[in-house]
Amino acid sequence: MDSITPTMPGQAEALALRYGPDAVPPAGPWSDAIALLLGHRSVRAYRPDAPPAGTLETLVAAAQSAATSSNLQTWSVVAVSDPAVRAQLATIAGGQKHIEQCPLFLVWLADLSRLGRIADAEGRTLEGLPYLETFLVASIDAALAAQNAVVAAESLGLSTVYIGALRNDVEAVARLLRLPPGAAGVFGLCVGYAEPAATGEVKPRLPQSAVLHRETYGIGDERAQRAAYDGLMGAFSRRNEMQADTWTERVLARIASIRSLRGRDRLKPALRALGFPLR
């Protein structure tokens, strides 16, 4: 498997899979890269076979090719292979078994520690470092880098799933990975070859009219859009996950209570303890 899969659907089919048959946007320009992006799906069951030698380094090269705010490069990534550490990370993430199962597990860091070390070495003070803005810069950098790695992995026939649930306990993650102050795991990423039965369908998204605003923000017929999307997602769930949840039900359940944040309601004090004052 060395390139974009030849079995990728054409433009019309790819758009219909992403939006459902009733919300297909007008066709525009198209490329293999766009087809790859539209074919994305998260995978939560992996074969044990490792990707070829050099895959990790290739994914990191793709990650480092992402844009980075002011070229500060305020992110790092930890590749974790130790099964005992993987097991503990899986526990932190609420028992997500794919963290132990996938051949490659990456923890992406918002990493201001390097800038702190540069300042120390140069005998300088970085007054901008303790601000929320700088943490946000680092988190955005980490996300852009990781997404480049995801696209690169998918172009090689690999599958992925992000693991935001590592933020259930960022301090425990920092202890396990021996992170210096000023570095925090913002999410993990499983990478590997999908179990054939686990590839699933492309998960539909909201219609473009819900997310694309022209000139100014407009709510439009949001209720009707949501009802249509609930229908689409309910059917998707029944086909792929044997549940009948609509998108609305899932959204409400995900944010309904402090408990549903699964420890992430403590994120601010936890990040402060890890050396991010978030001023």
For ligand FMN, the binding residues (CB under 6 A) are: 40-42, 44, 93, 96, 161-165, 187, 203
Residue 41 or 114 having the CB closest to ligand FMN: 41
Nearer to ligand FMN, 165 or 179 (CB): 165
Pick 38 or 115: Cβ nearer ligand FMN: 38
126 vs 143, which CB is nearer to ligand FMN?
A: 143
Q: Which is nearer to ligand FMN, 129 or 153 (CB)?
A: 153
Which residue number places its CB atom closest to ligand FMN?
Answer: 164
Task: For residue 268, give the amino acid letter.
Answer: K
Find the shortest distance in angstroms from Cβ 205 to ligand FMN.
8
> In this complex, which beta carbon is closest to ligand FMN, that of residue 126 or of residue 251?
251
Q: How far is the CB of 119 from ligand FMN (least distance, A)?
A: 29
In the complex, what is the shortest distance from the CB of residue 187 to ligand FMN, in angstroms, rounded to a whole number?
A: 5
* DSSP string covering the chain: --SS-TT---HHHHHHHHH-TTSPPPP----HHHHHHHT------B-SPPPPTTHHHHHHHHHHTS--GGG---EEEEE---HHHHHHHHHHTTS-THHHHSSEEEEEEEE-HHHHHHHHHHT---TTTTSHHHHHHHHHHHHHHHHHHHHHHHHTT-EEEEEGGGGGGHHHHHHHTTPPTTEEEEEEEEEEPBPGGG--PPPP---HHHH--SSS----SHHHHHHHHHHHHHHHHHHHHS----HHHHHHHHHSSSGGGTTGGGHHHHHHHTT----
Residues 179, 90 contacting (CB under 8 angstroms): no
What minimum distance in Å lies between the beta carbon of 279 and ligand FMN?
25
CB of 240 to ligand FMN, least distance (A): 10
Least CB distance from residue 250 to ligand FMN, whole Å?
A: 9
